[in-house]
Amino acid sequence: MSLVVVNTAPSRAATPAWRVRLSHEWRGESWPPGDGTVFQRAPWLTPLYAAIAAREPQVAPLVVRLEDGDGVPALQLPLLLRPLGRRIALEFADLGMTDFNMPLLGPAAPADARAARGAWAALRRALPPHDLVRFTKMPVTLAGRPNPLALLPGVRPCAVNGNLVVMTGDWTAFHFGLERTVRKELERSWRVFEKTPGARLRTVTDSGEARHVLTTMGTLQRARMAGIGQPFTLDDPVTADFYRRLMAGLGDHAILTVLEAEDELVSALLGVRDGETFVMIRLAHAADAWRKVSPGRLLIHKTLEMLHGQGLRRFDFSVGNYAYKRRFGPTRTPLVDYCEARTLSGLVPVLRAEAGARLRRHPKTHARVRRLLGKPPSREED
């Protein structure tokens, strides 16, 4: 069911009127066909909303669409109303699965801070009751256009960032542009791997087989996380259901590559494609005997080579600054968060987020506080 709310701004020529449309269900269309990341498009959102509906009925979808006074599309926000104890949080459709959150930008999207504030005020008046707004992992710009939510006062740096590799030349130029020790290690690993009986790189194209590979990936990732004393969360019901549903788009949207040898899955890489961009979202690899060929890094390298040959030029290693990503020389792309209390109850998590952001500006103190709280050290800079 959809609700149309018309917000007419005061009669000042410089202040536009906005029309807000709210829908409490996702209908599968990307409106408008504008600028956004792969995570704002129907092939990603359709399985995500379906998994949430099937597994988390207490979480309510909310698709918000903003038009200017002439009906020209401005923004589409794929959101959720999620209970957090006694509070209701307004968040992007994420639940830990989406790497980059932002509106899909239409032709009338606000392009400066003043217009962004006016649009956000109109949206706030139309939204259903909630205690806090929590928008995280938002790109600052996209395709040369500003993200209007990143222009709001109170936006703060996110704890994570993107990691983007743009290849402007041929594959050889990229490969030989890697740090020499990294390049030589990848070459050595491939020579060793190729000598193994049954060694091969391939792309999984059957959705049934892909779901089987996902199960194996989960087993490998769970064992690895247990080995380093970290929790494994990718097997919770919503996440597992979402990844299974995502496999319906295998080949067109989702890309799953594997290294196999001796009848064993050595490593697997799952990513999503949007035009010339490939975003890596999940990587798993066997340990022990395969450690000598660095199977995760090797699969990334060979997958990039294959996709470059198919015309892709932008490769995002997603959020997190792990050592294996840094070896490929990505450029860190900034992300921002926006938190706002709408009730007194919502003030506590907003203040907590602000304190966390301030603490992260002082890494040594941040690490000391984590130890005092009994939290494991961050693995981001391993």
Question: What is the average pLDDT value for the chain, to the nearest integer?
Answer: 89
pLDDT value at position 11? Answer: 39
Q: What is the DSSP string of 31-56?
A: SSS-B--GGGSHHHHHHHHHHHHHH-
Predicted TM-score (pTM) of the model is 0.89
Cα separation, 352 vs 341, in Å, equals: 11
pLDDT per residue over 223-267, tens digit each? 888 887 888 888 899 999 999 999 998 988 999 999 999 889 999
Residues facing 20 on adjacent strands:
5, 66
Burial of 371 (0-12, 13-18, 19+ CB in 10 A): exposed
Between strands 264-274 and 277-285, the pairing is: antiparallel
Q: Which tokens go with 314? A: 């932008």
Digit-coded pLDDT (tens) for 212-227: 999 999 999 998 888 8
Which of 87, 66, 89, 78 shows the shortest CA–CA distance to 16? 66
Structure tokens at 375: 């939290």
316-359 pLDDT per residue, tens: 999 988 889 999 999 999 999 999 999 998 888 788 877 776 76
Query: What pLDDT is recorded for position 199?
Result: 95
- Name residue 125's amino acid: R
Tokens describing residue 167: 């290849």
